[in-house]
Amino acid sequence: MAEKILIVDDDLDSLKLIGLMLQRHGYEVVAANSGTQALAKASNDHPNLIILDVMMPDMDGYEVCRRLRANNDTRPIPIIMFTAKTLVDDKVAGFEAGADDYLTKPTHPAELASRVKSVLARSGAPPKKAEPQRGGTIGVIGAKGGVGTTTVALNVAAAFTSKSEKPIIADFRLGAGSLGLFLGVSQSYGMGNVLSKPAADIRASAIEPELVNHQSGMRALLSSIRSKEALINFSHDAAAAVVKTLRTLGNPSVFDLGSGLNTITTRLHREMDQLIVVVEPNPAALLMARDMLQEIEPPGSKTGRIHIVVVNRVQSSVQTPWHEIEQALGHELRSIIPAAHDQVFQAARAGTPLVTSQPGIPISTQIAKLTDELHTRLKAMVPNEA
């Protein structure tokens, strides 16, 4: 496996040039253009080496280096300072901050490659830190709004409790978080509180106090329906840090991603081991689902992680046949969920998932079968901790 190098520089031209040179030498390259982003990527991606510029607008390289050395997760990563500062005092400051080597700009590509090789050799080229795995990640996304995405996500998570698992369900819909209402929790700002933090600070110790323990056996990281919460500005790295951290806490972690693709869900669906796409059996929803699937998984690149779930929200004799749905989407259907408006409403009033309160009704048995398939696939992909 190629050694991973994180390059940190606010000059995009420098990032491209250094990155290209390192890639030609067989290294995997990750880039950051600010100190804050560097801390997040060092914590989440666990590179084998960091090449760190000193002069950056938000946080200079010395401070980034000190913070990396103060963090137990990132302390062992070797760091090369790479900067235009040439005075001896500048180099001393770099070494005092914790750098392993110091290069001045401009430098010949051969010298940079040699220093990188030398520092990696001295450090023993520590491998990427293995994430402690408890379970996998399951994303649930609707082809459009109002198709029952939250109902599916909630009940899939709850169904895992019957398998002696300890699932966590998380709601990424800031300002539109109805999941808490389905669980009988009037308001919870857990997800908003977590996403308000810098990505580098999103770890288990930040998330665990925000989790709600539910009587069904699940834990939940919830968004609220407070409109102001939707205005929280969070980064793609922060959202990815939530997923990666919950992966270590839940078994599995199920994510309500809402409806449609946006810049955040486009990033997050790639973090999912299994992805449920919820559709309605009508032409408009199927057209939207087909477009989404082409973005998520282009034709010819079948991964086997996509599960199409059709939800019949109303009883009707005029519905698209299942084989026509498969033909329209280019995917096999994993499950067809029957209409159960009254039961869903009653379960929401009771704050209890349907699969827990009414396990024998058709909607619950269909979700149980879907969960069996997900459970089997996750067991094959992500072994549990001993």
Calpha distance 228→226 (Å, rounded)? 6
Is residue 319's pLDDT more than 70? Answer: no
Output the pLDDT for position 2: 73
Instruction: Please report where in the chains the tokens 């459009």 appear, as a residue.
Output: 144
Calpha distance 208→199 (Å, rounded)? 16
| End-to-end CA separation in angstroms for the chain | 26
Compute the average pLDDT of residues 153-165.
93
Closest CA to 282 of 151, 153, 143: 143
Output the pLDDT for position 316: 52
CATH of 137-381, one of 3.40.50.150, 3.20.20.10, 3.10.20.740, 3.40.50.300: 3.40.50.300
Contact status, residue 325 vs residue 332, Cβ threshold 8 Å: no
Is residue 174's pLDDT more than 60? Answer: yes
Query: Which residues on neighbouring strands pair with residue 277, listed in sequence order?
Result: 141, 308
Q: Where are the domains of the chain?
A: 4-123, 137-381
Nearest 5°: CA angle at 255, between 253 and 257?
165
Least confident of 93-102, 124-133, 220-229: 124-133
Compute the average pLDDT of residues 119-140.
68
Is residue 192's pLDDT more than 60? Answer: yes
Calpha distance 35→54 (Å, rounded)? 9
The model's confidence at residue 302, banded by pLDDT at 50, 70 and 90, is: low
Average per-residue pLDDT in the chain? 86
Is residue 171's pLDDT more than 90? Answer: yes
Convert 161-189 to b/e letters by CB count within 10 Å (16 or more is b).
Answer: beeebebbbbbbbbebbbbbbbbebeebb
The model's confidence at residue 196, banded by pLDDT at 50, 70 and 90, is: very high
Q: What is the amino acid identity at position 339? A: A
The verdict on domain 4-123 having CATH code 3.40.50.2300 is yes
Calpha distance 49→124 (Å, rounded)? 11
Question: pLDDT tens across 12-68, in order?
Answer: 888 888 888 888 888 889 999 899 999 999 988 889 999 999 888 888 889 999 999
Instruction: Please report where in the chains the tokens 């992500």 appear, as a residue.
Output: 382
Tell me if residue 12 falls in helix, strand or coil.
helix
Tell me if residue 279 falls in helix, strand or coil.
strand
| pTM of the entire predicted model | 0.66
Is residue 279's pLDDT more than 70? Answer: yes
Identical topology for domains 4-123 and 137-381: yes
**Residue 198 or residue 298, greater confidence:** 198
